[in-house]
Homo-oligomer: A and B are copies of this chain.
Amino acid sequence: MAKLKGKALVAQSGGPSTVINSSLCGVVQECMYSPHIEAVYGAHNGILGVLTEDLFDITKEPKDVIEGLKRTPSAAAGSCRYKIKSLKESRKDYERILEVFKAHDVRYFFYIGGNDSMDTADKIVTLAAEMNYDLRVMGVPKTIDNDLAETDHTPGYGSEVKYLATTVMESGRDTEALYTFDTATVVEAMGRNAGWIAAGAAIAHRGEEDAPHLVYVPEIPFSIDRFVADCKDVLKRLGRVVVLAAEGIRDIKGNYVTAQSGKFAKDSFGHTQLGGVAETLKAIIEEEVGVKCRYNKPGTAQRNAMHFASLTDVNEAYLVGAQAVKEAVAGKSGFMITLIRESDDPYQVTTGRANLSVVANGEKYLPRDFMNKAGNHITEKCRRYVTPLVCGEAPITIGADGLPEYVRFKRCPVEKRTGTYKV
């Protein structure tokens, strides 16, 4: 494959994760190492920054800021949820992207994101080929949801699980101490469609005493009656119950539990109650099980908890970023870097490649045999899969005020070379 000289552009997309900047660091440092890549630009706020030509020169950032990305949560370049549809429907957007690339002699595009991003990247590859524009595009997997096809797991998942499992463990100790008063606790996990996060965090349940005592995922239809029975059963054995539920749990008809459960659903004006799954399950426990219940909703804190991130995850996030650059420089294009698990114990991974289009159209749900028959807790198979991903503690820098020090780009703008574009 011929050598390709030019600039690299990197963008981050979708919901942040604890390690998406570790991947960014891998991309940037590897780009700066390559003699073929003349500069690395960042797109401010993902693909929005490309469309509006809002670019900044990462090569001009201080070296310690670039190094500090490894230990900084969320998306330092900025992210977005702007959705570009098919080439047919959104051709104008794709043409605009290529216009910006050409204007800046961008020859390498690295897109860190989930399946929507891989879909966008795939279409950019197609259009560039149509237009005979020499461009290499590589996808870098990122999602706390762990639902990307073709890869054993996704960077972001291990840290999400390490933090959430610890949160559940610690919340469980609270309930254990105060069960004569606060007898039940519900913890809400992220996960609209897939149960990977809730199932992963369930490894905190090392023994019967340990929270979570019950786990619910979107893949298994949720029944209030069974839930009430499950809670009563645990209460009988332990005198307390800690429930871990994915935000996306739904009933047999596919309706989200937050918007389906009779008196817990809407007020008489038809307003949906303010709360989500955690509040709904709390209400069910208090009214149907008859014990006092608390609820914890870590929310976005769970996907940015660099203060207790998985070292395995941080390292793999960096690895897939750097590997994407290596392969692009070597001539590859149109792929997402994947993680291949060579063995569980000792845990070993290598990287592979998957076609962007295959990743774009796949979605990976929690296998049924990762959950027990009753559908209310995980199996050993799940634990074996998850455990290596949360191992190791990633070091962070702590300031003189006792709090983490995270970096921020100064973001030196790249001069615009095209006209304005309305998104």
Could you tell me the distance between the alpha carbons of A306 and B195 in the complex, rounded to whole angstroms?
A: 27
A380 at the interface (CB under 8 A from B): no
A308 at the interface (CB under 8 A from B): yes
Could you tell me the distance between the alpha carbons of A257 and B278 in the complex, rounded to whole angstroms?
A: 20
A365 at the interface (CB under 8 A from B): no
A334 at the interface (CB under 8 A from B): no
Distance (whole angstroms) from the CB of A86 to the closest CB of chain B: 22
Could you tell me the distance between the alpha carbons of A278 and B278 in the complex, rounded to whole angstroms?
A: 13
A262 at the interface (CB under 8 A from B): no
A379 at the interface (CB under 8 A from B): no
A102 at the interface (CB under 8 A from B): no
Please tell me if the beta carbons of A74 and B180 are within 8 angstroms of each other in the complex.
no
Could you tell me the distance between the alpha carbons of A387 and B399 in the complex, rounded to whole angstroms?
A: 11
Please tell me if the beta carbons of B181 and A16 are within 8 angstroms of each other in the complex.
no
CB-defined contacts of A299 to chain B, threshold 8 Å: 171, 185, 294-297
CB-CB nearest in chain B for A299: B296
Which stretch, A59-67, A125-133, A321-329, A400-408, touches the partner chain B? A400-408
A282 at the interface (CB under 8 A from B): yes
Please tell me if the beta carbons of B298 and A301 are within 8 angstroms of each other in the complex.
yes
Distance (whole angstroms) from the CB of A158 to the closest CB of chain B: 8
Chain A, 381-410, CB within 8 A of any chain B CB = 387, 390-393, 398-404, 406, 408
Please tell me if the beta carbons of A178 and B16 are within 8 angstroms of each other in the complex.
yes
Please tell me if the beta carbons of B387 and A391 are within 8 angstroms of each other in the complex.
no
A273 at the interface (CB under 8 A from B): yes
Please tell me if the beta carbons of B280 and A274 are within 8 angstroms of each other in the complex.
yes
A100 at the interface (CB under 8 A from B): no
A176 at the interface (CB under 8 A from B): yes
CB-CB nearest in chain B for A76: B177
Please tell me if the beta carbons of A294 and B300 are within 8 angstroms of each other in the complex.
yes
